[in-house]
Each structure stands twice: as C-alpha cells, then as structure tokens.
C-alpha cells in the first residue's frame, strides 16, 4: 500500500491473536482501532477479556510507529460495529483493513446435549461477528479512492476442516468463516479490495486453555503433540501472517484460507 498511513480495525483485540495482531500492525506503522467486547458473556462458562486487558494492549503499543486507540464494542452488534468503523474513519480519515479476530469456544459434549445458549454464543460470535464486521467495514474499504488496496481478513481455524469431537458448533462456525471469505472474494471482484483468512492450529491463547478444560486435559500444552511442529503456536506467529495479508505482499491473493497451524491439518 502506498499510503503513508494505513488504518486497520481489529476485533477481539484485548488478548490472544487479536492483541498480538494489534501490536504487530502498530509496529509496522498502522493506525489501529483495537475493538473488544471487554465483558463476560453470561452464557459461556469462562471469563472473556476485560477493559483492563484492552487498556494494556493500547499501553503496550505506545511508542510504536503506529497509533492505537481502544474501543469497547461487541462484534455481534451491528450498531456498535458501524460506530466503530465510523470512529476509525473520523479519527484517521479512512479504513484500509478490517480484521475479524474475535472468537469464543464452548462444547465439551455432543451437539445435541450442548446448552442452546452456548451454541448461539459460539455461532453468533465466531461466524456472525465476522459477517457483522464485513457488513460494516467493507463499505468503508470501498470508500477509499481508486486504486484501492483494501483488505478484509478473518480468523478461521483448523477446526474448519477437521471434525473435532465435542466442538461441533465451533467447527461449524469456523467452516462458515472459510465459506464466507470465498464468497466475499467473488463479490469484491474488480474493486481492489480482497478477502482472505488465516486458519490457525493449536495456539497458546485463552480459547485453547478453555478447550483443554472442556476435554478434561491438564492444560493447553496437551495439544502440542497433535502438530508436526511438536509445540503450540504463539499468537504472534498467527499475527505475523495476518499482518502480511494486510499488506502489499498479498496483492495476488483473494479468497484464500491460509493455514498457520503447525501442520495440524496434515
């Protein structure tokens, strides 16, 4: 991208892959609106990120070449996401990349035994939240003058292609993200805006820690042996791929779901 200042909006920004993505983009000179719910979901049995977590991400980025501003908003809320996009445009004059990173997990039992409110929380966040951001952000990406270099990015998962027992809703939502990205790529044909995703494997995040609890495992590290790398991924490794997809290097790609999974999908 040739613009001196590039602007990104990142959801799920308060911890995990989202927080790492904010830091990576800021280090590369992006101005970033870091968005997170910053509140627990009463339908989920584990704690989500807090306002203090988001504040820490913003503080950690201080001194980076790019500017970071935090905003508490629920990615499932159409009005809130439209306001977030408007804030990025107001603050920095436009939007060049929207990254849907926010996600939750629930399960630990067959789908037919899963509490419906947990199923709805997973699907509405992990797939619905990506759709809500696309609806709010893509028009802003298209408001940039031609020639455009906009990027819509999302986080899928190795669960999009692997049937993981006791995580059916999560698998379904992430498979939906992959399908959505492919469809958006065709709809954005000729606009200069691309749509791509990354598909992480077992990454050292709170979601993986909750997954371990759901499976009755001692901790997230128990998943490392499933990957040919024989270790967990760091959030920064997934963030590096997202940052690359947001930049000039991915100009020849659209509709791609890039595995950053330590070989888990092999």
Residue 161: CA atoms inside 13 Å, Cβ hemisphere, count? 16
Catalytic, out of 170, 181, 188, 196: 170
Residue 72's SS3 state is: strand
How many angstroms separate the CA atoms of 157 and 234, rounded? 15
Side by side, the strands of the sheet bearing 151-155 are 68-72, 31-36, 7-11, 97-100, 151-155, 194-200, 257-260
Query: Does residue 46 have an active-site annotation?
Result: no
Instruction: Provide the H-helix boundaries in 127-263.
Output: 128-143, 168-187, 206-214, 235-246
Please give the sequence-ordered ranges of beta strands (E in DSSP) within the chain, or none if there are none.
7-11, 31-36, 68-72, 97-100, 151-155, 194-200, 257-260
Enumerate the active-site residues.
170
């Amino acid at each position: 991208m040739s613009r001196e200042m590039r602007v990104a909006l990142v959801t799920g920004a308060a911890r995990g892959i989202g927080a790492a993505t904010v830091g990576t983009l800021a280090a590369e000179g992006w101005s970033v609106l870091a968005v997170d719910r910053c509140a627990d979901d009463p339908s989920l049995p584990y704690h989500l990120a807090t306002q203090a977590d988001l504040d820490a991400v913003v503080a950690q980025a201080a001194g980076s070449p790019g500017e970071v501003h935090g905003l508490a908003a629920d990615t499932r809320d159409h009005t809130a996401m439209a306001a977030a996009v408007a804030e990025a445009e107001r603050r920095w004059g436009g939007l060049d990349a929207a990254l849907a990173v926010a996600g939750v997990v629930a399960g630990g039992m067959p789908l037919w035994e899963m509490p419906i409110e947990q199923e709805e929380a997973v699907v509405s966040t992990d797939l619905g939240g990506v759709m809500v951001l696309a609806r709010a952000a893509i028009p802003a990406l298209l408001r940039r003058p031609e020639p455009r270099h906009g990027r819509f990015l999302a986080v899928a998962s190795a669960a999009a292609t692997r049937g993981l027992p006791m995580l059916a809703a999560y698998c379904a939502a992430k498979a939906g993200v992959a399908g959505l990205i492919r469809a958006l790529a065709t709809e954005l044909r000729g606009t200069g805006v691309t749509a791509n995703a990354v598909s992480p494997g077992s990454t050292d995040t709170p979601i993986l820690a909750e997954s371990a609890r759901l499976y009755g495992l001692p901790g997230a590290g128990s998943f490392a042996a499933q990957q040919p790398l024989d270790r967990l991924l760091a959030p920064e490794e997934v963030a590096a791929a997202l940052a690359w997809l947001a930049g000039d290097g991915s100009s020849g790609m659209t509709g791609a779901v890039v595995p950053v999974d330590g070989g888990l999908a092999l």
